[in-house]
Amino acid sequence: MQRLRLWSDEVEAMRAEARAAVEAGRAMFPWDEGERADVSRDERVAQHRAELAGVTFESDAAEARDIAGVACRVFRPAGNPRAVYLHFHGGAMIAGSAALMDIPNQELARELGVAVVSVDYRKAPEYPWPAGPDDGFAVAEWLLANAQQEFGCSSMLIGGESAGGYMTAITALRVRDELRAIDRVKGLNLTYGVYDWGRSPSQRGSRPSDGFDVLADDETIFVADCFLPGMTDEQRRAPGVSPAYADLRGLPPCFVSVGTCDHLLDDSLVFAARAAAAEVEVELFVAPDLPHAFQAFDCGITKLWGERLNEWFHAHIPS
């Protein structure tokens, strides 16, 4: 009988170091759950936005562009791009900006030879669903029609972190269903995204680990109420809202990453398993003992994740 294993012996040997890295690095996330819970919705949103603004470092190499009526930040490689990487930043659909990942996106363009287009989609609660996803889809549609003329390449990959993982999945599904152009998308980089807005077991607190997480225990409730106001959990599980409940057949290869301390752990596990069952090529990287935003914690596991992701990119970007 073959035992299901979510990580290798190599990763298992790195767990003690990972736990130490989280303990040493958790001071980077000093917010107090009680303080957040005791303020109004707008004050809490403002806190989230201030926190992410404090860790945003804009790059002078970014080209500010309006694409399909949506503000974007563009990075170009030194030579002709091999593909376009459509990127969506994190921030729980209520915070963050396209500049949040300027430095990694700049490096991605340089190292992989791709043009990176990062989307400054609209945020809740001012602009609830479907405003943000509509912005992401509009940019994807424009790129599919104009990337050859604009960048000299026609292939696309899509990826993002946290809320950006959600935006990646929902955009890809709309490209498949509304544009019938999913063959132009060569891969999806899905990093600890939220794929079940009806709240998966780990979102509800049933995690395999009670270790530190960047997300507060009530975070997903608060965010869902901002992004999908007036909906019940069952309504939030509609396939057009929650990708975990969608028909996943025909999606391009996926690289799915998540930590076991993440409140969004089950979102990634369910999405990856359902995609694999639908015969989608899936590479799943589970980081034991690591929380949401795990790449902020420098250790052997996160280094290995970076190496595996880089290998995946190279395997799926057209030569």
**Amino acid at site 137:** F
In contact, 235 and 199? CB cutoff 8 Å: no
Per-residue pLDDT of the chain (319 residues; tens, 9 = 90+): 778 999 999 999 999 999 999 999 998 886 555 556 678 999 999 999 999 999 999 999 999 999 999 999 999 999 999 999 999 999 999 999 999 999 999 999 999 999 999 999 999 999 999 999 999 999 999 999 999 999 999 999 999 999 999 999 999 999 999 999 999 999 999 999 999 999 999 999 999 988 999 998 899 999 999 999 999 999 999 999 999 999 999 999 999 999 999 999 999 999 999 999 999 999 999 999 999 999 999 999 999 999 999 999 999 999 8
- 28, exposed or middle or buried, with CB in 10 Å at 0-12, 13-18, 19+? exposed
> Residue 162's pLDDT is what?
98
pTM: 0.96
**Backbone torsion region of residue 123, taken as left when φ is above 0, otherwise alpha when ψ lies between -120 and 50, otherwise beta:** beta
Can you give the three-state secondary structure of 144-189, one letter per residue?
A: HHHHHHHHCCCCEEEEEECHHHHHHHHHHHHHHHHHCCHHHEEEEE
Alpha-carbon distance 245 to 224, whole Å?
A: 16
Round the average pLDDT of the chain to a whole number and report it: 95
Q: Which helix (H) or strand (E) holds 73?
A: strand 70-75
> Residue 36's pLDDT is what?
61
> Could you tell me whether strands 282-287 and 84-88 are parallel, antiparallel, or unpaired per DSSP bridges?
unpaired
Q: Which residue from 13, 27, 33 is spatially nearest to 221, judged by alpha carbons?
A: 33
> Residue 319's pLDDT is what?
82
> Residue 30's pLDDT is what?
67
List of residues 6+ apart from 7 with CB closer than 8 A: 286, 287, 288
- CATH class given for the domain over 9-316: alpha beta
The domain segmentation of the chain, as residue ranges, is: 9-316
